[in-house]
Each structure stands twice: as C-alpha cells, then as structure tokens.
Amino acid sequence: MEITESLKYDLRSAPDWFHESINILPRLENLQHPSGNLKYQVWDKANTKNIVILIHGTGAHKKWWDPIAPLINKNFTVIAPDLPGMGESSHRSEYNFDAFSESILGILKQEEFIDNAHRVYFIGHSLGGHVAGFMASELPQLASGLVMIDSPIRPPTYDYGTHISTGPLRKIKYYEDKISILKRFRLMPLQDCNNSWYLRYIAEHSIQEVESGWRWRFDDKLFATLRRLQSYEFKFQCPSLFIAGGKSLLLESKIMSYIKETFQDHMSIEVIENAAHHVPLDEPLELIKIINEYLLKWSDE
C-alpha cells in the first residue's frame, strides 16, 4: 500500500462506494466499566427493531467495519465495539470470552436494546466470530441470528496447549514517526490483499502517538494472556451462517468437515472463493451481499 502523511491522498484510488461509506459517520460512544472503558460506534437507523453487532478479530478494532457497516440493510441499526484491550477501549490485566461478552452486553444495555421489542444479530470475523458464537450459545434468548466469518470452530477435544498464536509475542515497540510504523502494518495471519486502500484505512486507525513515540493501539499482553475456549462446545440454536474464505489457511478440511457435520441442522455455509482469511478486506461487496440476504430472510421469519 502507498503510505504518506495524507490518508486522503493514499485513498485516492479507492472505489466510489468505499469513499461514500467512510463518509457516513457513525455516532461515537463510550461505556464506563469498572474493568476499563469501552469505545463503540453506532450507525443509527430510524424506527428499526433490528440490531446488528459487528465484532472484530484479534488485535483489530471497530474501524475495520467502517466501509461495510453503512452497506448493511437500512432496516438494521449497526453497532461496532472495540473489544477490551483493542482499538480505543481500555487495556486490562487479562482477557477472556466472558469479559468480551459482558462488554457487548453492557453496550446493548446502555443503548436500551435488550428487550422483547428488539432482535439482535451477532456478526464476527475470526476471534469476533468466536465471541459471536459464544454469546449466541450462552445467551440464546438474545440472539436472533449469527454470522461467523472465517472463524475456525474446533471440537471441544481440541488441545489449545499446542495452539500457535499468530500475533506478536514481544513487548510493544515504539516508532519515531507515523510513516515508519505504518510501513510495519501487516495482516495476521500473513496474507496478500489486493485492496490496498482498505489496508491503508485500517492501518491509519490502528496506531496512536504517545509520549514514547508511535505504537499499535492493541495491548501486547492480549496475545499471551487471552484465555481461549478450552473444552468449549458451541451450542447456539439460532439461525446461523458460516462464511469461509476459499483461500483461507485457517480452515483445513478437518475443521470444515466438523462444522458441516456438527451444525448441519441450523447453520448454512457460504464460501467466498477469492477471499483468504480476511474476508471483509478481500471481498467486502460480496460479503455484504451475502450477509444482507441472510439478515433479510431471518428478520422476515
């Protein structure tokens, strides 16, 4: 991707739909929490009872959804949170799925969306898909639908003791200037992405300047301290969809076979052939087309 001091200049080759989306500014909010504040943004839709929660992946942030969220059907209000320890949300001493779930639940309560009048749909990419599946499993009365995007669902017998993290295992490094750190931006797991303008946009919002220099926003302790879903079995029963990247390196045949066999009664599977793991960046328009089709079908049921 091209990197200068000017984000606007570097995005000049982006398609019109991308510029139109990022110019639809969401409402920015903060949830005060004893364990640390949580930042989130809302694309409000008038007189709607349908709520979509967009949950980002490990080390990512709410701004990953900026080009996509405005394209979700007009009958759905959309919320994108920064999970604890990522984006602009506060860092914590430890990270686990209960805390992620509690954070999103707190946002829904603050927005007054937890009642019989609202229908909540969870959509997550990678780690965010696991969080979405966890919430749909633990809070079945809340989840009206679930979309997991390239989130490997492993059997409860999977040994996370042998799991290899794809994130940084060293302490945060500080860079002397903005361009230097932007040049270090990489997708994890590593992959190519033809939409360099999308990469440049999320890179811009992945960094911050502090007293010691420029650094990534995420908490570097996250990758070492995150308590994964050891021995956990997803048990969601709501209408659900699994979207796989056809070129994803995370979805080996055993994982896909397990997903197809275990959730065959209530989970549809769609494959976006030209996408790798980072489906929202690789094929954003095809992704949103599929999501909208399922959301409309579910909301009409």
* Residue 181 in domain: yes
CA proximity to 56, closest of 14, 1, 103: 103
Structural domain of 94: 7-300
* H or E element at residue 213: strand 213-216
**In the prediction, which pLDDT does 172 show?**
84
* Residue 1 in domain: no
Inform me whether the pLDDT recorded for 301 exceeds 80.
no
pLDDT confidence tier of residue 168, bands split at 50, 70 and 90: low
Burial 281-297 (b: 16+ CB within 10 A, else e): bbbbebbbebbeebbee
pLDDT confidence tier of residue 170, bands split at 50, 70 and 90: low
Q: What is the mean pLDDT of residues 177-201?
A: 96
Q: What is the mean pLDDT of residues 186-200?
A: 96
* Residue 218 in domain: yes
* H or E element at residue 241: strand 240-245
**In the prediction, which pLDDT does 300 show?**
87
Inform me whether the pLDDT recorded for 124 exceeds 60.
yes
CATH number of the domain that residue 192 is part of: 3.40.50.1820
**In the prediction, which pLDDT does 164 show?**
59
Inform me whether the pLDDT recorded for 169 exceeds 60.
no
Q: What is the mean pLDDT of residues 240-265?
A: 96
Which residues lie below 8 Å from residue 106, measured CB to CB, with a gap of 6+? Answer: 31, 33, 38
Burial 98-120 (b: 16+ CB within 10 A, else e): ebbbbbbebbbebbebbeeebbb
CA proximity to 246, closest of 148, 132, 150, 152: 150
Pairwise CA distance, residues 126 & 250, whole Å: 10
* Residue 92 in domain: yes
**In the prediction, which pLDDT does 171 show?**
74
How many C-beta neighbours within 10 Å does residue 49 have?
16
Inform me whether the pLDDT recorded for 163 exceeds 80.
no
* Residue 2 in domain: no
**In the prediction, which pLDDT does 46 show?**
85
pLDDT digits (tens, 9 = 90+) for 199-249: 999 999 999 999 999 999 999 999 888 988 889 999 999 999 999 999 999
Which residues lie below 8 Å from residue 274, measured CB to CB, with a gap of 6+? Answer: 246, 247, 282, 283, 286
Pairwise CA distance, residues 281 & 266, whole Å: 27
Asked whether 87 and 37 are in contact (CB, 8 A), the reply is no
Pairwise CA distance, residues 11 & 240, whole Å: 35
Q: What is the mean pLDDT of the chain?
A: 95
Number of folded domains in the chain?
1
Percentage with pLDDT > 90 across the chain: 89
CA proximity to 128, closest of 152, 148, 102, 103: 148
* Residue 61 in domain: yes
pLDDT digits (tens, 9 = 90+) for 76-106: 999 999 999 999 999 999 999 999 999 999 9
* Residue 112 in domain: yes
Amino acid code (one letter) for 285 = L
* Residue 223 in domain: yes
pLDDT digits (tens, 9 = 90+) for 55-80: 999 999 999 999 999 999 999 999 99
In whole angstroms, how far apart are CA 42 and each of 77, 143, 145, 210? 7, 19, 19, 27
